[in-house]
Amino acid sequence: MASWQSELMKFLMRQQAKKMERLHLRGWDEHTSVPAFRQYCESGAARAKLVAGIEAVPEKIEGLSPSLSAEWLQPSVEGGIPPVEDSVIFYCHGGGYISGSCSDHRALVSKLAAYTGMKLFLFEYRLAPEHPFPAAFEDSLTAYRWLLTRIEPQTRIIIAGNSAGGGLCLAVLLALKDCISQGETGLRLPVAGVSISPNTDMSLSGKLNPVKRSVEPVGLAAYCSKYYVGDNDPCHPYISPLFGELGGLPPLLLTVGDEENGLDDSVRFTDKARAAGVDARLIIGKGQVHCHPLLPDFIPESRQTMTEIAAFIQKYGANKAV
């Protein structure tokens, strides 16, 4: 049974859904405004603050037209969080591939930087429907290659992401593995990956979650898939990592709530990864919603799952013997 704090958060989310209904964002159809959804996400995030002890340092990924905006989320000099050296988290933000930015994810993912003590590299990528696949995927690979030129060879990289970004980080892992096997020099796989409530199947072939009164907008997943996939095959592994050859991936940790629609996505991906010999673990949050580890720490389940994520990251990111 979920804690009362978790039930309170879900109640507040359902209250917030009434505002989404007024903005025509609660039930999605062809008339739903993507710009309005982006503004809704940005305005909500503007009220959130960075976790104490973490600072945001702006960055630009140059060499592109236009350049990609990015930032470092890192322990501040006087913040009281002991920094972990020679490790970095490469983070892909969520937003259904149609929204998301550094500004609307900064407060959420600063929690991960605080729990691990590691510098976290957060970047923006082009969004659908203006820029369908492969735009976000290509931008993420570009950002990863750029990062490799800015860190020392001994620096350990952990790739992570949430929601669409959780699927994107798995797609990037598959692409990196393919590029390395094809002889591309100068690349290396991250030492581990963390995927929070990932979209692993943009063909939407998974089982529907029978949980009633979901806090997720009705029809949003279908339109995110439509806009991101475009004219491409939704079963392409770089769109839907579930359909990729998963053997050879680094250790993975996936988290999902049992009250979110993507539950089957995470279960199927983890099962397939394990069958391919990958050291893959799945944490299912009982009575939890989408991306529950990133919710406030007053929720015991969010705090517990984030603690387990941090332990996993530190095992591979801070242990020089790994």
Active site residue 101: no
State the catalytic residue, choosing from 71, 259, 260, 301. Answer: 260
State the catalytic residue, choosing from 93, 131, 236, 290. Answer: 290
State the catalytic residue, choosing from 87, 101, 163, 302. Answer: 163
- Cβ–Cβ < 8 Å for 87, 155: yes
* CA contacts within 13 A on the Cβ side of 201: 19
Active site residue 163: yes
Active site residue 78: no
Active site residues: 163, 260, 290
